[in-house]
Amino acid sequence: MSTPHVETVKLDELNCWKISHGQAELLVAQQGAHILSYQLAGEQPVIWLNDQAQFKHGKSIRAGVPVCWPWFGVFQRNPDSVQAMRQSSEEPTAHGFVRTLEWSLLGIQADADGVLAEFTLPLPEAGLPGWPHKVGLKLAAHLGEKLHIRLTSENLDDHPVTLSQALHTYFAVSDVRNVHVEGLDGLTYIDTTDDWKPVQQQGELHFSGETDRIYLDTPTQLSIVDPTWERRIELTAEGSRSAVIWNPWIERASKLADMADDGWQKMLCIETANVMNDVVTLAPGASHVLGVTIGSRRLG
């Protein structure tokens, strides 16, 4: 069993850990338990570390794998059962609030297959902001031949709790105009750029404009095929029957202060999710794992 190399680093205001094991390297920020990058030695990065990302206390990071919890996207677009969990008159932020909170590092340790880093979100006595429910939250990242990410929600309260969530992964690509996604043919998706209309996917998904789609009843595995970089990124989901695919394209990217005008070309978000009719209701004492395994291999 080889010993992982762990280095403490700081990106502007944020404390981070750089974890190396074998040929793989992982960068994780304490704020949000936010995985910032994942790369294999001698290869292009798998997870996109945006060179214009801002690493500030209390500000969400547009890069890596933000944790969206306990709701996803625009709060008012969530099912009533998710909205009913919130008790606040303040305007809700998109994607919940845990991605801007400080998590605690439980430990980083080697095992037979790699190295495991675990984080937990401390529960304040008064509850989380505007969301007074006792739900334990833990994120585990296992670095080996592949990257395994698991987000565990455990209901410690005496009443059911309903939530939506996502691992909002930004994947690095050579040029989004030249890649495609396999595994979606025949699925129904909600096109949020076209008045949230339901549409049926025909064939593989290629990109020629702004894309913001919620795919329903998704299979366990999806793939990003990148001929220019001669690789296939394979995603295997756990505890999820929905996925969100997003790229801002030219006009929207130009309005994002924390993305270069051409940044949209270099990334593609495929978000392993529990959204729409796939939300999670936890009975008292119950838990749920939302996870994704990410690997890459050469085409051919």
Q: Compute the distance between CA of residue 237 and CA of residue 218 in angstroms, rounded to an integer.
A: 9
The whole-angstrom distance between residue 52's C-alpha and the CA centroid of its chain comes to 18
Distance CA 55, CA 76 (A): 28
Sheet of 24-29: strands edge to edge?
5-11, 14-21, 24-29, 34-40
Specify the DSSP element, H or E, that contains 68: strand 67-68
| Catalytic one of 21, 118, 168, 234 | 168
Closest CA to 139 of 29, 268, 10, 245: 29
Sign of CA dihedral 269, 155, 30, 140: negative
Placement of tokens 């309005």 in the chain = 255
**C-alpha R_g of the chain:** 18
Known active-site residue 168: yes
Categorise residue 255: left if φ over 0, alpha if ψ from -120 to 50, beta otherwise: alpha
> Do 110 and 4 meet the contact criterion of CB atoms below 8 Å apart?
yes
Alpha-carbon gap, residue 252 to 77, rounded angstroms: 20
- With tokens 């969100």, the residue in question is 244
Note if 251 is an active site residue: no
Residues assigned a catalytic role? 168, 271
